[in-house]
Copies of this chain bind each other. A is one copy, B any other.
């Protein structure tokens, strides 16, 4: 007879940690390529610019991957993190909107390398339907729902014009899709909370850069404004 000591609630991993995971993955991938066998949190800290403490904390959200006095086995940690990121399985994707950006993404090899496989493209333009991009067929948007259901698609990439975004999201909501990778500037809201949305708001990124370029100028202006003028006591 045994007792099971099961935690009653799941401690959710913070977004900050999740955003660092791809960095760990990439870094370990590089080390692996260079035939580095083991690595300490100290060494990772030097490469990545996070503190060693933070790295150990981050990793311990998911398990005990290291060994005292040794550090981490590069290959093993790399595999663990790839599992955590879900990169140990192939993700079937469709892309909706075969404009410039859509075509760029279909042609980009890096995604397939990591198991993200765009198997179909959808567009409303009759001139495109029936053609192929990078050997991936283009179908009519009318077929999205049927295709996703038939082909067990995980992820939909949305690269449609912003006016189309809501409509496409509505169609996707009727399927068993797991995630939407949204390149439109529209904030997608779905009833179905099982469908995860990851936004790539390029204009936000550019605005952020613009802010930083402008920052010094701005602060000088603010300082001036905030000066207060007192009459002599």
Contact = CB atoms under 8 A, between A and B. Distances in A.
CB-CB nearest 7 A-B residue pairs? A86-B214, A100-B104, A198-B209, A22-B204, A101-B104, A86-B210, A22-B207
A23 B203 CA distance: 11
Interface string A135-152: 000000000000000000
Interface string A87-119: 100010000000111011101101100101000
Protomer copies: 2
Contacts of A111: 203, 206
A179 B219 contact: no
A227 B99 CA distance: 50
Contacts of A99: 104
B196 A231 contact: no
Contacts of A231: 2
Contacts of A211: 18, 21, 84-86
Interface residues of A, number: 73
A167 interface: no
Contacts of A33: none
A179 B209 CA distance: 7
A203 B116 CA distance: 10
Contacts of A18: 208, 211-212
Nearest to A17: B211
A210 B91 contact: yes
Contacts of A219: 10
A185 B99 CA distance: 23
